Amino acid sequence: MRGKESQSGARLGVLGLLALVLAAPATANERREAYRRPASIPHPESAPYSEVRAELGRTLFFDPRLSGSNFLACSSCHNPGFSWGDGLPVARGHEMKPLARRTPTLLNAAWLDALMWDGRASSLEEQALLPVASPDEMALPLELLPPKLRAIRGYAARFEAAFPGEGLTLDTIARALAAFQRTIVSGEAPFDRWVEGDEDAISEAAKRGFALFDGALRCSRCHSGWRFTDDSFHDIGVRSADRGRGDEFPEIEAVQFAFKTPTLRNVALRAPYMHNGSEARLADVIDLYDRGGRLKRPSLSPEIEPLGLTDVQKSDLLAFLQTLNGADEPVTVPAAPR
């Protein structure tokens, strides 16, 4: 009898525990865990890390001879001094022509699932030569690129060392550029130290801001994980007539005027904001979200709704976002082969 009693008592205990498990909200520590920096860079099986390839890619990345004018390098827009962007509302291309969209950062490019503001490339290798070929950007017809680089004596040995027997081709150029871009990783930020358990790494205001971001406001539904993005596409009500991903999917209303969710790493250092630089300051971006978007089209994401933030909440969110500024590694610019 006593045995039965203790058995049913134990069962009750298990049920009680179960209820506790279900009822307990995620602890602050658990929530932080979802933002922990990864231990290593995810190089794909098809492109394992090779230092010699990455260094060749670095040389190509900073070489303006990849453009028709011999003036624009990849780094002209993706400037490491500006967190791998250019700090302009929209990029400037061939002959200083203003482009339609802002230069996206290359920070943490190795983790990208979709590239370009509209996601039209799905790998760094696929993306690498698109700006080179674009008449508005680097304006070098791709058929001219390999012979142009072959004529630079110093490149032959570098390509042979990086891609033995494969030659200097569009494919090896793109793979080298991709290999280098995978090494661009944002430096440790105060937020990362807080995730690791250093309670003094960020202010109380920033902690409140994070609680809002990850909790009530559910910003983390899209700005998720250590990069603070899931590479998804939304119309968030930005003032713009650019259809973004809608150009690729004209039949799908949900992605009209939709652009890729950007990473928030170093975000406070990367003004202006949005795909077209239409929001000058981070505070303006918070205001856009607070209003539920500036333009309410049928394609507006269902997740975008007015928030009713107080001034203190806005200030807390800003404090949190500023903790994402990383101590990025200094970047070496290699000598261009002659």
Partner 1 sequence: MTLAMARLGVLLLAGLLLAPQARAGEHAVSQKQKEFQPSELSVEVGDEVVFLNDDEISHNVFSRSEGAKFNLKIQRPGEHKRQRFQEPGEVVIRCAIHPKMKMTVHVKPKGEESAATTSGPCTVSDDGNGDDHCEVDASEPMSVDGKRAEDAPESVPAAPEAP
Interaction site with partner 1 (CB under 8 A) = 18, 21-22, 24, 26-27, 30, 79-83, 87, 113-114, 119, 122, 218, 221-222, 230-234, 245, 249, 251-255, 258, 269, 271, 301-303, 328, 330-331, 333
Q: Output the smallest distance, CB 150 to partner 1, in A.
A: 29
Please tell me whether residue 165 adopts helix, strand or coil conformation.
Answer: coil
Q: How far is CA 159 from CA 235, 264, 333, 337, in A?
A: 42, 35, 18, 12
Maximal C-alpha separation, the chain: 93
218-245 as b/e: b if 16+ CB within 10 A? ebbebbbebbbbebbbbbbbbebeebbb
Q: Output the smallest distance, CB 301 to partner 1, in A.
A: 7
Nearer to partner 1, 90 or 114 (CB): 114
Which one-letter DSSP state was computed for residue 318?
H
Nearer to partner 1, 192 or 328 (CB): 328
Using CB atoms within 10 Å of the CB of residue 87, give its burial: 0 to 12 exposed, 13 to 18 middle, 19+ buried.
middle
Nearer to partner 1, 135 or 334 (CB): 334
Q: Output the smallest distance, CB 120 to partner 1, in A.
A: 10
Check: CB of residue 320 under 8 Å from CB of residue 213.
yes
Q: Output the smallest distance, CB 257 to partner 1, in A.
A: 13
Q: Output the smallest distance, CB 211 to partner 1, in A.
A: 17
Nearer to partner 1, 119 or 131 (CB): 119
The region, left, alpha or beta by phi > 0 then psi within -120 to 50, assigned to residue 292 is: left
Spell out the residues 6+ positions from residue 13 whose beta carbon is closer than 8 angstroms to its own.
Answer: none
Check: CB of residue 288 under 8 Å from CB of residue 236.
yes
Q: Phi and psi for 280 in degrees, rounded to 5?
A: -75, -40
Q: State the DSSP H helix or E strand holding residue 317, giving kind and residue range, or none if neither.
A: helix 311-322
Please tell me whether residue 57 adopts helix, strand or coil conformation.
Answer: helix
Nearer to partner 1, 68 or 326 (CB): 326
Nearer to partner 1, 253 or 287 (CB): 253
**Distance from chain centroid for Cα 133:** 23
**Distance from chain centroid for Cα 117:** 10
CA distance 315 to 214: 16
Q: Output the smallest distance, CB 178 to partner 1, in A.
A: 18
Q: Output the smallest distance, CB 87 to partner 1, in A.
A: 7
Query: Which residue matches tokens 């680089």?
Result: 149
CA distance 300 to 255: 9
Q: Output the smallest distance, CB 224 to partner 1, in A.
A: 9
Nearer to partner 1, 140 or 236 (CB): 236
Nearer to partner 1, 55 or 231 (CB): 231
64: its two tokens: 């303006």
Q: Output the smallest distance, CB 183 to partner 1, in A.
A: 15
Nearer to partner 1, 31 or 37 (CB): 31
